Amino acid sequence: KTEIRKINPLQPEQTIIMQAASIISNGGLVAFPTETVYGLGANGLDDVAARRIFAAKGRPADNPLILHIADQAEIRPLVKSVPANAIALMNAFWPGPLTVVLERSELVPDAVTAGLDTVAIRLPRSLIARRLIQAAGVPIAAPSANASGRPSPTTAQAVWFDLVGKLDMILDGGQCDVGLESTVVDCTTPVPTLLRPGGITREMLLAVLGELELDRNLSDQTSAPRSPGMKYTHYAPAAPMILIDALPPADTVKLLLREVNLALAAGKRVGAVTSAETAALLPKGVLGAVYGPRGDKEQMAGNVYECLRRFDKSPVDVIFGEAVDEAGIGLAIMNRLRKAAGYRIISG
Ligand code: TXA
Ligand code: MG
């Protein structure tokens, strides 16, 4: 039932775009690449189609979806108003990995917003995504195209692994650029609030806005989350993961190697998700997955989810993850790693 089609990310073949768009128009589901992760798309103005997304992913009904548009002007009918700070963000970062939350209009179906009076909107940079939205002629509602609770997919193969049989078509445009989901900013608060860190960094947002609140889930990880998606187990790999985040940070490698050796001595099958530098120090018998060199956090971000998915096919008993510093996109990497670890963190 699920068809997979290769498509050129730089010059998307219009015949394939038209086939995918007609599936969307008829209420079906199409997974497509964006510059962040693959999305599971449906007609964003069709309540029934949007509900199919929740069924396919096994997604809780109270976790709202993002509406994807192809042109900034398409935001108008979807919202009550666009405050000045939202316009500044859109001008600075669209098309790109930024989602803004605004007050919704009546046009947006309840399934999309999970009954909230706000709606999340994003204009992706990916040409495949924008051509698909244009051809469908409607905003496309799309969460990440993983089964609920699993790492987000950055390849078409990861979408297939999680969702085959549950959607109509997968557009295979290769590996996603950023590799982590978009930055989500709530523009309905007096000072805009960062709900989810991503490729548009906190530093970049501050340069445009001058001030930015951090949602409680980012500053204090024990209190109730505001972004509905934040409260669920997320990005979990096949085995339990423990994040090693030592103070001072220079001790992280030492602590990680100690924990790895203890687990090996206890007879466990051990996985490790680390920088290239740390991978070179791992003892024999450890199944390693490498983010990338410590100096290149963009590359590390791009590989996080594939690293977590590495253990789907080679089972281990425990996975140790290496923390990274939180400057720039490091904040987003650490946000996803903490969730993937279910907040099991060893800090020394
Ligand atoms: O990069 C991305 O954003 C990808 C690609 C496909 O665009 N999509 C994505 O969607 O990551 P999803 O559903 O996995 O994450 C959407 C996030 C969730 O944390 C959700 O709770 C939040 O956005 N969100 C959606 N609508 C919201 C709203 N009205 N208020 C607050 N948070 C909202
Ligand atoms: Mg998701």
Tokens of 229: 């998606």
Which residue has its alpha carbon closest to ligand 1 atom 19?
A: 229
Confidence of residue 220 (pLDDT cuts 50, 70, 90): low
- Residue 340: its H or E element: helix 330-340
Could you tell me the residue ranges of all domains in the chain?
A: 3-231, 241-346
According to DSSP, residue 210 is labeled S
pLDDT tens per residue across span 170-186:
999 999 999 999 999 99
The predicted model gives 305-325 an average pLDDT of 95
Which residue has its alpha carbon closest to ligand 1 atom 21?
A: 229
The predicted model gives 308-325 an average pLDDT of 95
Residue 182 is assigned to a ligand binding site: yes
Q: Is 114 helix (H, G, I), strand (E, B) or coil?
A: coil
Topology of the domain comprising 241-346: Rossmann fold (3.40.50)
Prior bond of 190 cis (ω within 30°): no
Q: Which atom of ligand 1 lies at the shortest distance from residue 184's CA?
A: 23
CA of 2 to the centre of ligand 1 (A): 24
Residue 301 is assigned to a ligand binding site: no
The predicted model gives 123-138 an average pLDDT of 98
E-strand ranges in the chain read 3-6, 30-32, 39-43, 66-68, 98-103, 118-122, 140-141, 169-172, 183-186, 193-196, 213-214, 241-244, 270-274, 287-290, 318-322, 345-346
Tell whether the model's pLDDT for residue 321 goes beyond 60.
yes
CA of 7 to the centre of ligand 1 (A): 25
Q: Is 122 helix (H, G, I), strand (E, B) or coil?
A: strand
Q: Please, what is the average pLDDT of the chain? A: 95
Q: What is the pLDDT of residue 317?
A: 97
Tell whether the model's pLDDT for residue 206 goes beyond 90.
yes
The predicted model gives 293-312 an average pLDDT of 96
Q: Is 302 helix (H, G, I), strand (E, B) or coil?
A: helix
Q: Which atom of ligand 1 lies at the shortest distance from residue 180's CA?
A: 1
Q: Name the residue with higher pLDDT: 302 or 220.
A: 302
Residue 235 is assigned to a ligand binding site: yes
pLDDT tens per residue across span 268-280:
999 999 999 999 9
Tell whether the model's pLDDT for residue 7 goes beyond 70.
yes
Tokens of 343: 């907040």
Tell whether the model's pLDDT for residue 305 goes beyond 50.
yes
| Helices assigned H by DSSP within 115-213 | 127-136, 156-163, 202-209
Q: What is the pLDDT of residue 238?
A: 83
What CATH number was assigned to the domain covering residues 3-231? 3.90.870.10
Confidence of residue 228 (pLDDT cuts 50, 70, 90): low
Q: Which atom of ligand 1 lies at the shortest distance from residue 120's CA?
A: 26
Tell whether the model's pLDDT for residue 223 goes beyond 50.
no
Which amino acid is it at 244?
Answer: I
Q: What is the pLDDT of residue 232?
A: 60
Residue 2 is assigned to a ligand binding site: no
Q: Point out the least confidently predicted range of 25-39, 67-81, 232-246.
A: 232-246
Residue 118 is assigned to a ligand binding site: yes
CA of 139 to the centre of ligand 1 (A): 15
Smallest CA-to-CA distance from 304 within 286, 267, 330, 278 is with 330
Which residues does ligand 1 sit against, CB inside 6 Å? 34, 36-37, 39, 63-66, 97, 99, 101, 113, 116, 118-120, 122, 142-144, 181-182, 184, 195-196, 227-230
**Adjacency order of strands within the sheet including 39-43:** 3-6, 169-172, 30-32, 39-43, 140-141, 66-68, 118-122, 98-103, 183-186, 193-196, 213-214
The predicted model gives 41-58 an average pLDDT of 98
* Cβ partners under 8 Å of residue 258, min gap 6: none
Q: What is the pLDDT of residue 224?
A: 46
Pocket test of ligand 1: the residue of 123, 227, 335 to mutate, having most ligand atoms within 8 Å of its CB, is: 227
CA of 258 to the centre of ligand 2 (A): 33
Residue 202 is assigned to a ligand binding site: no
Give percent of the chain with pLDDT exceeding 90: 90
